[in-house]
Amino acid sequence: MKNKLRLSYLILLSGLGLLSCKKDKVKPAEAKQGSMEVHFDSRRSLTEDFVVNKNYLNANNDSVSFSTFKYFISNVELVRPDGTTFAEPNSYHLIAAANTPASETFTIANIPDGNYSKIRFRVGVDQARNSSTATPVGDLDKDHDMTWDWNTGYTFVFAIGKFKSAPASATFLDFTYQIGKDAQYRTVELAFPSETPTAQIDEMHKPKMHLHANIFDIFGGPNVIDVKANSNSNLPQFSTVAPKIADNYAQMFRIDHIHAH
């Protein structure tokens, strides 16, 4: 009895505490919500996983390895079958290709209950945020190396690695692709795969989307890139190559499958 009394006293107190705060606290909206985890699995190909620092042949038959491959996925939207969308707020995600999935995964929270059939996202950072690095939100607010110190803006795709051109030359050389600027911002839209053409998202259903990012496609989607002739993206002449690489990365993503949890 004594114990109980004390307990209720405390509950009262805590209630008071919370009550007096009520007016400054924004109550979350009552609408029902779910979430979805998105995994940007870095791949060598459909059948082969990507391993950091391992040599692979690219579309130009150069032997290439990546020590770093990072990129911004932004302005993610989920599209309903009727074409209406849910846009994730402050949607800026830094994806770092790695041998572990943690740095390749993010969760979209507070998705309104419903059925969804497409995902739309951007590679890079929209012009509004790209013209000043001083109001960072989401993953833009990190001490990452995704900015230039001499040129305002974010790096959209940052790839560092080594290459050896076919066939003879014996030494590996370095390449650095630090691709940004508004002209290289690309929109990607992917319909859900035929096995799961729509996914229900709500409090009970929190699906996981498993995407493939075939990162070697930067050397050869629609455009085959000769890395030997274009090994440093910070040279001004690279401005003609960068849009071709952007067209390549715009097409390097597939939805492999969706786990409908």
Partner 1 sequence: MIRFGKYVWVGLVSLAGFAACTNSKMPAPEPEPFTVTAPANLGTSVPAPERNPFTREGVLLGRKLFYDPILSGNNKISCATCHLPEKAFSDGLALSTNGASGQALHRSAPPLQNLAWHKGWFWDGGAKDIESLNFGPIKHADEMAQNLTELVKELQNHSEYPRLFKAAFRTDTISTALLTRALAQFERTLISANSRYDKYVRNEGGKLSSQELEGLSLFRQKCASCHATDFFTDHDYHNNGLDNTYSEAHEALAWGRGRISEKPEDIGKYKTPTLRNIALTAPYMHDGRFKTLEEVLDHYRSGVKVSATLDARLQQNGKTGIEMTEEEKTRIIQFLQTLTDPEFTSNPDFSAPR
The residue type found at 212 is H
In whole angstroms, the minimum distance from the beta carbon of 241 to partner 1 comes to 11
53 binds, among partner 1, Cu ion, none (CB under 5 to 8 A by kind): none
User: Where does residue 44 rank: exposed (0-12), middle (13-18), buried (19+ CB within 10 A)?
Assistant: middle
Q: Does 24 bind partner 1 (CB under 8 A)?
A: yes
61 binds, among partner 1, Cu ion, none (CB under 5 to 8 A by kind): none
Q: Does 100 bind partner 1 (CB under 8 A)?
A: no
7 binds, among partner 1, Cu ion, none (CB under 5 to 8 A by kind): partner 1
**Cβ pair 73, 138 in contact under 8 A:** no
In whole angstroms, the minimum distance from the beta carbon of 142 to partner 1 comes to 8
Would you say 25 or 27 has its CB closer to partner 1? 25
249 — phi, psi (to 5°)? -70, -20
Looking at residues 192 to 221 of the shown chain, list those that interact with Cu ion (rule: CB under 5 A).
210
Kindly report the number of other CB atoms within 10 A of residue 195's CB atom. Answer: 8
Gap between the Cα atoms of 55 and 65, Å rounded: 5
DSSP 170: -
Binding range to partner 1, per CB under 8 A, among 29-37, 111-119, 228-236, 251-259: 228-236
Among 2, 5, 17, 195, binds partner 1 (CB under 8 A): 17
Task: Tell me, by CB under 8 A, how many residues bind partner 1.
Answer: 35
DSSP 26: P
Q: Does 126 bind partner 1 (CB under 8 A)?
A: no
- The contact pattern for partner 1, residues 45-84, with x = CB under 8 A and - = no contact, is ----------------------------------------
User: Where does residue 33 rank: exposed (0-12), middle (13-18), buried (19+ CB within 10 A)?
Assistant: middle
Among 35, 60, 147, 165, binds partner 1 (CB under 8 A): 147
DSSP state string for 71-110: EEEEEEEEE-TTS-EEE-TT-EEEEE--SSSGGGEEEEEE
In whole angstroms, the minimum distance from the beta carbon of 38 to Cu ion comes to 11
| 119, 182, 174, 98: CA torsion to nearest 10 | -30
Gap between the Cα atoms of 227 and 65, Å rounded: 12
Q: Which residues bind partner 1 (CB under 8 A)?
A: 3, 6-7, 10-11, 13-14, 16-18, 20-21, 24-25, 131-136, 141-143, 147-153, 232, 234-236, 239
